[in-house]
Amino acid sequence: MPTDHVCWRHDDPAAFAAAARAFLTVGLVAGEELWYVTERNPAEAREWLAAVPGLADALRDGAARVVPLDGTYVDGRIADPAAQVRAYAEATEAALAAGHAGLRVVAEATGLVRTPRQRVAFTRYEHLVDGYMRAHPFSAMCVYDPRELGAAAVAELACLHPAGNADDVLFRLYAAGRGRTGLAGELDLSARDLLATALERAAPRPVDGRLVFEAARLRFADHRCLQLLGEYARSRGAVAVLRGLRGAGVARLVDLLGLPGIRVEAAR
């Protein structure tokens, strides 16, 4: 699974500090431009970063920057998903033009997703930017605080990232590139409502009448979640294709129940 788009549930300051610094250090070694996007006091944030070996020099020469949250995302704190992807695409191109290998961002984004309206827009952005990352040298760790948002809100965000530390989120729906959507984890009955929300927000589109889900890492699927995938695909004039499934259980279930709008292509 991709590891360039990480959702970090920030409920342990020490664990977050270690993870964020490690994420940025990978970019430092790779020659990427580094951003730390935060609402923290800029001087305090720079001091926090400078404690990482090599980052003090990067801060001095401009290869690493502390960027205010309000200066990175759209005004009004309601994201315009497409515009925000364009903004990061432009920043990535600027980093490349300056001689860097790409752009790597740690973004403390809790302040942008406090309300349901904000989360509707921002989760759509998360999926769009995930697709951008599959084909461009842009990486991000998106940081959310469950103490402010609540566990359910963080789950809405975490399930749209291919990687992260929210281990209680049963599944992940992410961009797999070339018009395909990745689906990993477990789709039991308790995941159905979150899956419905994720599909609505991510809004994956079919190509040539097929909505392909790369499902090699999907371990289990309840028939009600399979029905939901089929209904979503049919509402867009397509068939849902679960590609690369391991084992025959899901394929047998689809055949046994005669689930419409869904087809299984097993791993070879």
pTM above 0.85, yes or no: yes
- Return the percentage of the chain with pLDDT > 90, whole number: 83
> Are both 115 and 135 inside the same structural domain?
yes
> Are both 122 and 227 inside the same structural domain?
no
Q: What's the token pair of residue 73?
A: 């995302």
pLDDT tens by residue, 226-251: 999 999 999 999 999 999 987 667 77
Q: Of 165, 194, 219, which residue is a domain's last?
A: 165
Question: Is the dihedral angle over the CA atoms 159, 197, 219, 169 positive or is it negative?
Answer: positive
> Are both 184 and 142 inside the same structural domain?
no
Q: CATH no. for residue 259?
A: 3.30.750.24
Beta bridge partners of 243: 214, 265
Q: Of 165, 188, 206, which residue is a domain's last?
A: 165
pLDDT tens by residue, 170-204: 999 999 988 899 999 999 999 999 999 999 999 99
Residue 2: the pLDDT is: 66
pLDDT tens by residue, 69-127: 987 776 567 889 999 999 999 999 999 999 999 999 999 999 999 999 999 999 999 99
Tell me if 79 sits within 8 A of 73, measured CB to CB. yes
Name which of 68-72, 133-137, 194-198, 216-220 the model is least confident about: 68-72
Residue 255: the pLDDT is: 80
257-264, long-range: CB within 8 Å, 24+ apart, which pairs? 257/223, 259/223, 259/226, 259/227, 259/230, 260/230, 260/234, 261/229, 261/230, 261/231, 261/233, 261/234, 262/226, 262/229, 262/230, 262/233, 263/239
